[in-house]
Structure 1
Amino acid sequence: MQNLLTVILLLICTCAYIRSLAPSLLDKNKTGLLGIFWKCARIGERKSPYVAVCCIVMAFSILFAQ
């Protein structure tokens, strides 16, 4: 379960970063299978403080809990 959460957090952060560099790359695919990346970018932009806290918590749990 922890690995899945790590992958989801990394996907959200990566998509938000890519959208900040090249918005047209993700904006043209708002529907379909590639729309998942656009949705992840939107989550990363709108909920960035919560995503950042989750990333920090996940980092500490990976470093110190295992």
Structure 2
Amino acid sequence: MTALFNLQSLLLVILLLICTCTYVHDLFPAILDRNKKGVMGIFWKCARIGERLSPYVSLCCIAMAVTVFFSS
């Protein structure tokens, strides 16, 4: 089953995208800052979400880790 049809996998992919974009933006801010519009702007927006909502994102990471641990 792909991540598009499984809600838990889709949320995990989105959460990992937010965390990865935030990490890349922290290391190399110029890469994401010059691509604020268009398709590449999605990554800049994910980095912004990760920066501004970091306590909630970290709680979601912990919750997702617990659910994945107990479901397998």
TM superposition score normalised by structure 1: 0.98
Alignment partner for residue 11 of structure 1, among 17, 29, 32?
17
Match of 1:50 in 2: 56
- How do 1:1-40 residues align onto structure 2 when only pairs under 5 Å count? 1-40=7-46
Deviation of the 1:8 alpha carbon: 0.2
Q: Which entry has the higher C-alpha Rg, 1 or 2? A: 2
Match of 2:70 in 1: 64
Name the structure where helix makes up a greater proportion of residues. Answer: 1
Where has structure 1 moved over 2 Å in runs of 4 or more? none
Match of 2:3 in 1: none
Note the residue ranges of structure 2 that are not aligned, 5 or more in a row.
1-6
Q: RCO greater where, 1 or 2, for CA within 8 Å and sep 6 or more? A: 1
RMSD value, Cα: 0.5
Q: Secondary structure at the match of 2:37?
A: coil
Identity, % of aligned positions = 64
